[in-house]
Amino acid sequence: MIKEWDLLRAIACLSIVTLHTTTWMTFHNEFYAEHTALHFMRILLCFATPTFIVLSIIILAHKYPNQLPPNFWSKRIRFLLVPYMAWAIIYAGIAETIYRKDLFFITVLQNFFRGDFVGWFVIVILQLYALYALLKKYQLADVVVLPLTICISLVHHALIQLPYPFFMTHQTQFRLLLTGWLGYFALAYLAGKHYKKLAAALLRYRWWTLVTALLSTMLIFINMKLGQTGIHSRRLDLIPFVCSISALILAWGQKLPYFKIVRILSRYAFMIYLIHWQVLWFGSGFIMRFGLSFKVTIVIIVTLTVALCIAIAWTIARLPFGQYIVGAIKK
C-alpha cells in the first residue's frame, strides 16, 4: 500500500469520528450548536466521507487500469457488502432493544436498502465499482464518459436543490444514487489512472497545495456566511475542498515517515466507520458529565471511541465467522 493513501484514509477516519462526536455533544448540550466556529468546523469535517469514496476509486483505477480480476466481485461481496448487511442488522437490533417499537425487520430493510445508518456510503462505493467495471468491459473512451459524468453530477445536485416536497423529503435517499457522486468518480478515476505522474507533480508543487486548501476553505466560509449552513457531505462547495485537502495530504504524505498509528488506523478504518456511531451513542453523554472543557472532551471522546472500535473489530476478527462482520482486516 502506498503510504500517503494510508495517511489520507486515517485522517478521513478521524475526521468522521470527530464530526459525529460534535454531533452528539451538541445533542447533549445545545449551547455548543450556537458557536459559529464549531459549525464551520463541522462543515469542513464533512469532507471525510467523500474522501473515503474518492480514495476507493483512486486505488481501484491504479491497481486495475485495464480490467478487473475474476475474483473482484466475490471479494467485495464477502468483505464489503456482507459486513455492511451485518452491521445494518446490528444497528437495527440495538435500536429495537433501546426503543422497543417492534419494528426490527422494517428497520433492517431500511438499513439495507435506504442506508439509514452510517454505513450508507458502502452502497455508493459498490455502484461506482460497477460503473468502473462497465467502463473497462466496454472500453468506453475517457474523453467522452468522464465529462458526461461530471455533467450528470451537476444536474443531480441542481435538481435536489429545487424547493419541491419530493426532493426535500427524500434527501437521505438521494445521497445513495451514484449520479450525485459522478463528479468525484471522474476526478478519482483520472487521479488513480495517472497516479505516478500525479504523485510526482504534487510532491514538486506541494507548497501550492497549502494555497489551494486555504482558498477552498475560504469558499466554504463565504458560502456559510451567505446562508449555506447545511452540515452534510453533498455540498457542492465541498468538491474543491475535498480535492485540495486530498492533494495536500497526498503531497505531504510522501515526505512524512510511515507512522505505525497511521497503518493501524488505515487497517481498521472501515470498521471504525461502521462501529463508531454506536460507541458515541452509548458513551458520549457519560464522558460529558465530567464537565471538562470542550476541546479536552472532544479529544477524550474521539480517542476512546477509536480505541474501542479497534478493540471490538480485533476481537470479532478472531471469531470463526468474524470476516463476515468486520471484513478483511489486513495485517
pLDDT tens, position by position, 4-38: 999 999 999 999 999 999 999 888 777 666 678 89
Residue 207 CA to residue 126 CA, distance in Å, equals 35
Q: Is 165 exposed, middle or buried (0-12, 13-18, 19+ CB in 10 A)?
A: exposed
pLDDT of residue 102: 74
CB 287 within 8 A of CB 30: no
Distances (CA, A) of 189 to 20, 45, 112, 164, 183: 29, 23, 27, 33, 10
CB 17 within 8 A of CB 306: yes
191 pLDDT higher than 60: yes
Please indicate, yes or no, if residue 106 is contained in any of the structural domains: yes
Counted domains in the chain: 1
Please indicate, yes or no, if residue 31 is contained in any of the structural domains: no
Please indicate, yes or no, if residue 299 is contained in any of the structural domains: no
Report the amino acid identity of residue 275. Answer: I
| pLDDT, tens digit, 9 for 90 and up, residues 38-78 | 999 999 999 999 999 999 999 999 999 988 999 999 999 99
| pLDDT, tens digit, 9 for 90 and up, residues 238-287 | 999 999 999 999 999 999 999 999 999 999 999 999 999 999 998 888 89
Average pLDDT over every residue of 90-98: 87
Report the amino acid identity of residue 1. Answer: M
Residue 273 CA to residue 197 CA, distance in Å, equals 31
pTM of structure = 0.93
| pLDDT, tens digit, 9 for 90 and up, residues 117-166 | 999 999 999 999 999 999 998 888 888 888 999 999 989 888 887 777 87
Please indicate, yes or no, if residue 48 is contained in any of the structural domains: no
Using left for φ > 0, alpha for ψ between -120 and 50, and beta otherwise, residue 35 falls in: beta
221 pLDDT higher than 90: yes
User: What cell was used for 96?
Assistant: 429495537
Please indicate, yes or no, if residue 219 is contained in any of the structural domains: no
Residue 290 CA to residue 25 CA, distance in Å, equals 13
Please indicate, yes or no, if residue 138 is contained in any of the structural domains: yes
CB 154 within 8 A of CB 183: yes
Domain that residue 144 falls in: 70-193
Please indicate, yes or no, if residue 137 is contained in any of the structural domains: yes
Residues in Cβ contact with 300 at an 8 Å cutoff, skipping those fewer than 6 apart: 287, 292
Residue 330 CA to residue 67 CA, distance in Å, equals 23
331 pLDDT higher than 60: no
Please indicate, yes or no, if residue 149 is contained in any of the structural domains: yes
